[in-house]
Amino acid sequence: MLKNFLPDEHVPSVFDIDPDHLKEKGIKGVITDLDNTLVAWDEPDATEAIKGWFDKMSEHGIQVTIASNNNEARVKLFSEPLDTTFIHSARKPLSKAFKKAQKQMKLKKDEVAVIGDQLLTDVLGGNSAGFHTILVVPIVETDGFVTKFNRKIERRILNWMRRKGKITWQRRDQ
């Protein structure tokens, strides 16, 4: 059961995800979380750096879909200027939104990676749906109410995985 919380990869931020590395793994599409993955959870717009990251993925032929548990207004406001598809109110970790994004991108499971900052939503959901998962360090250490609760559980899971030798990296929020 706890193996579903283990990401395939861990990187400090989305900027450490190299499109050539993804392509070597056969990845043609990315489903990414929004809040605390691409920008701080209370930041409404994409930064210039994030716009550049989206452009870089596009230049390498990698599709990007944003899947967020946040409401439509929040996700639409962020996604539309990037000209990217999105799924709001995703209800992660349930796999329905992940599968919907895969279908929209017209890709096979092994051609999709899920990127996010939370074990309990992004990694668990991505793993359960059968995708390659990449955990990033949260952009800021503050969170909304529900996420604060999730982070406490995450810390326990990560500490258990570390003791068992399943992970060697350390998150700064530990």
pLDDT at residue number 41:
82
pLDDT at 74: 95
Per-residue pLDDT tens digits for 120-152? 999 999 999 999 999 998 887 766 666 777 778
pLDDT over 80 (residue 98):
yes
CA pair distance 45, 33, nearest whole angstrom: 14
Tell which CATH classification among 3.40.50.1000, 3.40.640.10, 3.40.1080.10, 3.30.420.10 matches the domain 2-163. 3.40.50.1000
Q: What is the share, in percent, of the chain residues with pLDDT greater than 70?
A: 91
Reply yes or no on whether the pLDDT at 12 is more than 50: yes
Look at residue 146 in the predicted model and tell me its pLDDT: 66
Q: Is 83 left (phi over 0), alpha (psi -120 to 50) or beta?
A: left
pLDDT for 2 equals 72
pLDDT band of 174, cuts 50, 70, 90? very low
DSSP 85-105: EEE-S--TTSSHHHHHHHHHH
Report CA-CA distances (Å) from 166 to 8, 25, 66, 160, 169. 11, 21, 28, 9, 10
- pLDDT digits over 16-57, tens only? 999 999 999 999 999 999 999 999 888 889 999 999 999 999
Residue with tokens 């895969």: 102
Contact yes or no for 48/56 (Cβ under 8 A): no
